[in-house]
Structure 1
Amino acid sequence: MDYENPVQIKVEAAPTFTLAALNKGLFVTDEGLTEQYISDKKMKVQKKTGLTVNVLTCSTSAEVAAAFGNNSKIFKCIESFLSQKDYPSRNPIIPDFFTILSVKNASQTTKEDVLTGLNQALSNTFYGITHTLADGILAQGDLNPWLNENRKIFFENVTTKTTAENIRSDRYVQIYNAVAEENKAAAYLATVITKGAGSKVDMNILNGCSADVSGGERQNLTKQNINFTEKQTSKEYVVVRTGIATDGTSIDETTAIDCIIYNLIDNMLIAMAEKGFKQDDRGYSELESVLSKVMGEMYQLGLIAKEGASPAFKIFPISQTAAERQLKVIRVKILFRLADWAKTIELTLSRTYGKVNE
């Protein structure tokens, strides 16, 4: 008899979830901690064949400066991350904490070193990932298998304007970044991940970033599923277009479904641990109650659409066959619609020489 997870969910369209909090970021660097920081913290640095891996939980850029120096790439990355604002309120988009993964090999840091560090960091809380690694450590798409296995989302700056078919994934997000001093991936991650699952992903305002595309470049980058910044309004800011992963999936769909599935699984596991579900009408009613509660909460979070006065989800009647009772399996199905964000508005202006309000 094989081991089975007590809760198994099949989603008809991109089944993805994560056990990590969905509004936390991980920042990967190949820069090591300063000797002063190691001394001050009385740290025992873990080394393995020349590889040093450190995972830090921080809440301010000052902590990052203390650990890596205020001229480090990771410090400048975090400054960009923490500089983003919510509009129109202009309130800062600040997480209660974020995580930094330092992976440094005494000889040369490699992709394998990064994967080793990521696996060590899995016990920490994070969902969105970006990096300041030196060129050549990671090739485009190198992390896709790891991202799929661990249900994370990766934001990366790119200077190329094409995306190869074999590296495309709903968990790999590229943003065109021609200005080396900027970190658009970190800035974009803040507006998408820190604001929570299902947040708007197109026309997001980025502070401290320039518009570095024009004309036909926009069409080409859009066709290649590469996000980019441009000046779109009379306001002073620039915005990100087009809010998609490298396979063309809208990022907000992935984050919303991740959140829904995680909460369904967590609540069902809690109910199974604390009460359990009988294989009769009492158990079916209890299970439906748990599912309805979670989906209602997802509606309150703005992830589930509204139809009339009701949330747009339906739990199909629960029943079991004799064979399912013998196997102790309850199968249930939920139909739902996400409250997606519009990306295009088509407006028709009709001019008349006659009366308008006849």
Structure 2
Amino acid sequence: MIIVGGVPFESNSTDQGSSDLVALMEHPVLVSTSLSFKAIPEKKFSISDTYSDEVEKKRHVYVFQREYATVDPTLVDLIGTDEATTCVGVVIRNRDNGMTSVAHMDYPAIVDHGLSQMLEKLVDCKHESEMDVHLIGGFEECPNKHDEHTQLRSKAPNDHSFPLCAKIIEAFVRSTVKFHIHTLFVLRHNTKIGTVGNALPIFSGFLVQTRTGSIVSATFDQTTRCPDELVRRIRVSASFSDSQWRNKLLETYDTQTDQFIIAPCYWSIRLVHMASYLQQLPDEEILHTCSTSPYAEAPDFIDNQKRMWNYLIQYPNWKESFKLGKPRIFARTVSGGWMMVEQAHEAAS
């Protein structure tokens, strides 16, 4: 069930959420919140930047593509994600206790199971659950192809964001949970035209204050996309061929212990060979081969891809990274960083 501005939203959709998405995109309350969200300057989140004094005092959790994490506001101050171009970042926060779940969803088939994963630690079966929701990401790749209303309904071959957004809305409508949507900064609301006339997302990430539920647009850097950045990036590609992760969000973070527990994911020798091949391509070809939105990627996209391929070539056997098939476990240090817990010791215990 969807609620906007305190009023239940009346669904008229018989087309997998498409009509409801169009209606919500035009809802006066959500149009107003989109304009307000766009007006707030984007925050650059880095341990070493001008926010360092503030950041070092804050405990944060970062979510990569196809991951999710549910955090307790007594243990975690900030949670966020970025690098979402055609993907959508989903925030669901329990109004009663502040428990907050963030997911970085990248294709429609992941939505139903992914939503269940997010709600598992949020919904209290003994009480009626009401959730605050924010959706950010997913821009309009062909904004000039149709007029304002037609383009929302467009499902061109390169239109990745619309089906994903529609599926998320459909899942909310069908749920018995009450979802109060506060931010719907997707599609045309999140689209601008670049200097060469190509469409770009206005924002590709966000940061949530867990205690208050406030949200701002944000970008992260390598110092804050921790821990275990490269292995977590590799799992995104590897999970396509690992049946245990089919249509699921990748498990990353343990809510109760405030530890990152990176669940193991198998990667094939084929993926390693592909990494060797891709590594030889010119940068322009890498963009077009590895991205659904080659003209919208961040400046560090190619470097991140190459670092990931180097890791695969160095560790072609996935069991070298996930020893004994056990998760990679990271505990938070006193200074706010992360320290890996020995997998062999964990397996023995």
Same structural fold, with TM-score higher than 0.5 when normalized by the shorter chain: no
Question: Which structure is higher in RCO with an 8 Å CA cutoff and minimum separation 6?
Answer: 2
Query: Which structure has the larger Rg over C-alpha atoms?
Result: 1
TM-score (norm 2): 0.30
With the length of structure 1 as denominator, give the TM-score of the two structures. 0.29
